[in-house]
Amino acid sequence: MKINWGTAIVIAFALFISFIMYFVLKVQTDSKYDNELVVEEYYKHDVHFQDEMTRVQNAHDLKVKPVITNDSKGITIVFPADFTPKDIKGTVALYRPSNKKFDFQVPISFTDSSTLFIPKDKFIGGEWYINMEWQYGGKSYLTKEEIYIK
């Protein structure tokens, strides 16, 4: 049987489409290829972008900013000494960009000093995003930081 050009082109297109569909289905069904968003409800989050930028600007305008340090014991967040620790309210959200199963939040609470410590055993090695949302003196603040845990 002899195949003409038209038939050969149709067969080539069918094989190419089958090849592409195989990989699309493989990526969608295999748990190894996890395609999740970094932030749940991304579009709802995007609507409040201007409010977020205002809080980031408030944090940027501070004369003395909170300091986030990463050492072998964990992450330490030190608020300025002129802040009253009991008046600082908020949360620290820690995001693992590669897998949301490791994301967690810590409420901002202090005992004596204005230092918050998060032990290293709560983390796995790799890249982490820290979003610290807090209120003090009637203003809202948002501090974003990116760290790497060894």
Kindly give the residue spans of alpha helices, DSSP state H, lying in 30-143.
42-47, 49-60
Instruction: Quote the longest CA-to-CA distance of the chain.
Output: 89
User: CA–CA separation, 135 vs 21, rounded Å?
Assistant: 50
The pLDDT tens digits of the residues spanning 20-51 come to: 999 988 888 877 766 565 566 667 767 778 88
User: CA–CA separation, 131 vs 112, rounded Å?
Assistant: 23
The pLDDT tens digits of the residues spanning 62-120 come to: 999 999 998 888 899 998 888 888 889 999 999 888 777 888 999 998 877 888 888 88
State percent of the chain over pLDDT 70. 91
Task: Write down the CATH number for the domain with range 42-149.
Answer: 2.60.40.10
> Would you give the DSSP letter of residue 61?
T
User: CA–CA separation, 41 vs 30, rounded Å?
Assistant: 23
How many C-beta atoms lie closer than 10 Å to residue 58's C-beta? 16
- The full length of the chain comes to 150
115-119 and 104-107 strand pairing: unpaired
Looking at residue 47, what is its pLDDT?
76
Domain-wise residue ranges, the chain: 1-35, 42-149
Looking at residue 90, what is its pLDDT?
93
Looking at residue 144, what is its pLDDT?
92
